[in-house]
Amino acid sequence: MEHLELQTGSALAGRIALLAAHNQLSHAIILTGHRDLIAAGRYLAAAMECTGEHPPCGHCGPCRKVLAGIHPDVQVVEDREHKMISMDVLRALRADAYILPNEGRRKVYIFPDCTLLDAKAQNVLLKVVEEGPPHAAFLFSAQNSAVLLPTVRSRCVEWNLGDEDQAASAGDSRAEELCALLDRRDTLGLAAFFTDLETRKISREELQSLLEHTWELVGQSLLAASGCGGRNLCPHLSRRQLSAAADVLRDAAAQLRFNLGVGHMAGALAVLLHERTGR
Ligand SMILES: [Zn+2]
């Protein structure tokens, strides 16, 4: 349980919980940065195997097994006999990936150190990452994703946990302010908050990052409201309201990738957040 406790209070935990709740965890994720990437990998694997109501619940059989490192469908890929991970290990893995899980919903392969995969090894993995069976998931950990080939990287989503922490501290106060406004369901305050951002000429990227960070904090609050511990920044909102707010924030952040103006988005978001988090 140590690993779960390690991560539960974090924005990362909020992100994983929200994606898991919507069944939107990618099957191939690269975790980069300087945090405990193996713990993060196990937490993610638990979210993929969890049978509880709010994955990763940390209490169900699959969660416990994953976090204890004894789940038969979650494999930490190592090669104790060689310095680098050998072709034999990878070919066996590739064959294994096509066999249905023993008891879990997914087969999860955690690569704790991608510097142990040379170019040849990565090429062996490429095809199964790209077009493997839907139950197979690959979690690559690396301090720097540049150790992976561009062809591998292009098939994965990348989460930089180091940057996330920095961005989190920079955007923390605004994201927390937004959570407080949501918690009070303060429509005027929300409108003023976004008008202020617009006046300051916040960039699309900054707004996107703010929305994503707020989304993670709302996810973290949802975990807390579900009894999983951690910080609840919106104690007055029900789980349903938190979940609705998370959806609005996520959709808005996704839409900002396209060509909606910041001003338009800020105004629309204030209205939506109020409506969707209503009674
Ligand atoms: Zn669980």
pLDDT digits over 25-34, tens only? 999 999 988 7
- At residue 274 the predicted structure's pLDDT band, cuts being 50, 70 and 90, is confident
> What value, to the nearest 5°, has the Cα angle with vertex 90 and ends 86 and 91?
115
In the predicted structure, residue 164 carries a pLDDT above the cut 70: no
pTM over cut 0.75 = no
28 Cα distance to chain centroid:
12
Closest CA to 16 of 236, 215, 261, 270: 215
Q: Whose structure tokens read 């609705």?
A: 244
Q: How far is the CA of 49 from the centre of ligand 1 (A)?
A: 7
Q: Which residues place a Cβ less than 5 A from the ion ligand 1?
A: 50, 52, 57, 60, 63
209 Cα distance to chain centroid:
14
Q: Where in the chain is the domain with CATH 3.40.50.300?
A: 2-155
In contact, 115 and 5? CB cutoff 8 Å: no
CATH architecture of 163-276: Up-down Bundle (1.20)
**What average pLDDT does range 160-170 have in this prediction?**
58
Condensed to tens digits (0 to 9), the pLDDT of residues 95-145 reads: 999 999 999 999 999 999 999 999 999 999 999 999 999 999 999 999 889
Q: How far is the CA of 71 from the centre of ligand 1 (A)?
A: 12
Q: How far is the CA of 232 from the centre of ligand 1 (A)?
A: 20
CATH class, domain 2-155, is alpha beta
Q: How far is the CA of 9 from the centre of ligand 1 (A)?
A: 16
- At residue 276 the predicted structure's pLDDT band, cuts being 50, 70 and 90, is confident
In contact, 15 and 219? CB cutoff 8 Å: yes
pLDDT on residue 162? 65
Q: Where in the chain is the domain with CATH 1.20.272?
A: 163-276
Q: How far is the CA of 243 from the centre of ligand 1 (A)?
A: 19
Whole-number mean pLDDT of the chain?
85
Determine the straight-line distance between the first and last CA of the chain, rounded to whole angstroms.
36
d(CA 220, CA 214): 10
In contact, 110 and 74? CB cutoff 8 Å: yes
Q: What amino acid occupies position 67?
A: L
Q: What amino acid occupies position 30?
A: I
Q: How far is the CA of 227 from the centre of ligand 1 (A)?
A: 13
Label the pairing between strands 28-32 and 107-111. unpaired
Q: How far is the CA of 47 from the centre of ligand 1 (A)?
A: 7
Q: How far is the CA of 203 from the centre of ligand 1 (A)?
A: 38
pLDDT on residue 9? 53
d(CA 210, CA 238): 22
Q: How far is the CA of 121 from the centre of ligand 1 (A)?
A: 33
pLDDT on residue 148? 95
Q: Supply φ then ψ for residue 120, to 5 degrees.
A: -65, -45
User: SS3 breakdown of the chain: % helix, strand, coil, rounded to 5?
Assistant: 60, 10, 35
Q: Where are the alpha helices (DSSP H) in 51-134?
A: 61-68, 87-97, 119-131
Q: How far is the CA of 21 from the centre of ligand 1 (A)?
A: 12
Give the number of other CB atoms < 10 A from CB of residue 115: 12
- At residue 1 the predicted structure's pLDDT band, cuts being 50, 70 and 90, is very low
For 19, what's the count of Cα atoms within 13 Å in the CB-facing half-sphere? 20
Q: How far is the CA of 219 from the centre of ligand 1 (A)?
A: 16
pLDDT on residue 106? 95
